[in-house]
Structure 1
Amino acid sequence: MTITELAPPVGEPLTLAETKAHLRVDLSADDALITGLIRTVREHLERATGLALLIRTFRIYLDTWPSSGVIQIGRGPIQTIENVTVYDAAGLPQEIDASGFLLDGQARPARLVLPKQPAPGQAINGIEIDFSAGFGATGTDVPDTLKRAMLLHAALLYEFRGAVSPDRQPVAIPAGYDRLIAPFRRRGL
């Protein structure tokens, strides 16, 4: 199973102004750097938790349908299922009627059951499911705990701005960060 992002988020959960206020930065000389740090800490948090903070579209690729009939999707919270496509042996797409699907988009991982699951004719990535995931369209929809973790992380990275180049970030995780994001992490055995 592979998940790809079809469209990046329209903005970021943290604004430049609120991040600068947290960092106690008044000048605009570091605005580009701080904007980059906001993106870096969001991407890091999303990788660590499997969450999409702001709504955007993703595609999951499957080789076959799960034997249980329940498709587990490791990116959430899922808002909608956009479309389902199955490829035949000739590689031609067949859009599947997904009406009547069951979705537990808040579960970790999210779970989807489709009423029709025709066998794909393509051995690899024969099934594509497009979905939108995220807490909401703006940073106000993101839980405050996650935004606080991002601010702590941005502050630490800003401290290291001269010692470590931006392309080598994140260089470290601040104290307390793991405790803030712990309730949002997926746990596995």
Structure 2
Amino acid sequence: MPAILLAGPTVEPLTLAEAKTYLRVDHGAEDALIASLITAARATVEALTRRVLIEQSWRLMRDAWPASGLIPVPANPLKALTAARLIAADGTETALPLDAFTLDTARLPGLIRVARGGVPNPTRPLAGIALDITAGHGPNADHVPSPLIEAVRVVLAHFYEHRDVAGAGAAFPARLDALVAPFRVARL
């Protein structure tokens, strides 16, 4: 089931000033580099944990409703289902009532339950179902567990220190695994 990022986070888990303090950088010559490394570090921690740190909007595309009625969500933690649509072969979209779906936001990965008989089957054989969701710990870094913020710092420092070609393959520090291990979401 493809997941398409519709809107990334409005903020990063670290500000530029926090990152520069952590890296002990006291000049502005590398601000653009550090800002891009913050984004890369967040994305790396999200990939390692299969969690979205700061709220983001995603679209889940499906070919058919699952026989079990349960749709596991690849972007976690699941916060809300914001839209559900069927897409016809000609591209026209039909909105589905959101009350035909029940969310389990406490589970990781989150689940969307489709009401049996509550929604029609798609007529388009591929990607005929579009579900828009919001996922993430919260709207800003205050909602992200502190070990995950520290993991972003560790990855940021690693990227900053190993930006030369020779060090590109350097392994992450061992403590990164200890920071992210309790937060990894199992793949279903």
Instruction: Output the amino acid matched with 1:23.
Output: L
Q: Residues 98-153 of structure 1, C-alpha deviation per residue, up to 9 Å, x if partnerless?
A: 21532112322110113223100000000000011111111111111001011011
Q: 3-state DSSP class of the match of 2:131?
A: strand
The 1-side partners of 2:95 and 2:168 are apart by 41
Say whether 1:28 aligns with 2:31.
no
- The residue number in structure 1 matching 2:155 is 153
**How big is the alpha-carbon RMSD for the aligned residues of Structure 1 and Structure 2?**
2.0
Q: 3-state DSSP class of the match of 1:85?
A: strand
For structure 2, which runs of at least 5 residues remain unmatched after alignment? none
Q: Residues 39-84 of structure 1, C-alpha deviation per residue, up to 9 Å, x if partnerless?
A: 1111111122221111121000000111100111111111111010
**Between 111-120 and 84-93, the greater mean CA deviation after superposition:** 84-93
| Structure-2 change in CA distance of 1:188 and 1:4 (3 Å) | closer
The 2-side partners of 1:9 and 1:171 are apart by 28
TM-score (norm 1): 0.90
The 1-side partners of 2:91 and 2:140 are apart by 38
Instruction: Output the amino acid matched with 1:141.
Output: H
- The answer to whether the Cα contact below 8 Å between 1:41 and 1:153 also exists between their aligned partners in 2 is yes
| Structure-2 change in CA distance of 1:156 and 1:84 (3 Å) | same
- The residue number in structure 2 matching 1:117 is 119
Matching of residues 30-179 of structure 1 within 5 Å: 30-99=30-99, 101-115=101-115, 116-161=118-163, 163-164=164-165, 172-179=171-178
Instruction: Output the amino acid matched with 2:165.
Output: V
Instruction: Output the amino acid matched with 2:131.
Output: I
- The answer to whether the Cα contact below 8 Å between 1:77 and 1:135 also exists between their aligned partners in 2 is yes
**Between 178-187 and 126-135, the greater mean CA deviation after superposition:** 178-187
Aligned residues: 186
Q: 3-state DSSP class of the match of 2:147?
A: helix
For structure 1, which runs of at least 5 residues remain unmatched after alignment? none
The 2-side partners of 1:65 and 1:20 are apart by 47
- The residue number in structure 2 matching 1:181 is 180
TM-score (norm 2): 0.91
The 2-side partners of 1:87 and 1:149 are apart by 40
Instruction: Output the amino acid matched with 1:66.
Output: P
The 1-side partners of 2:126 and 2:100 are apart by 26
Q: 3-state DSSP class of the match of 1:57?
A: strand
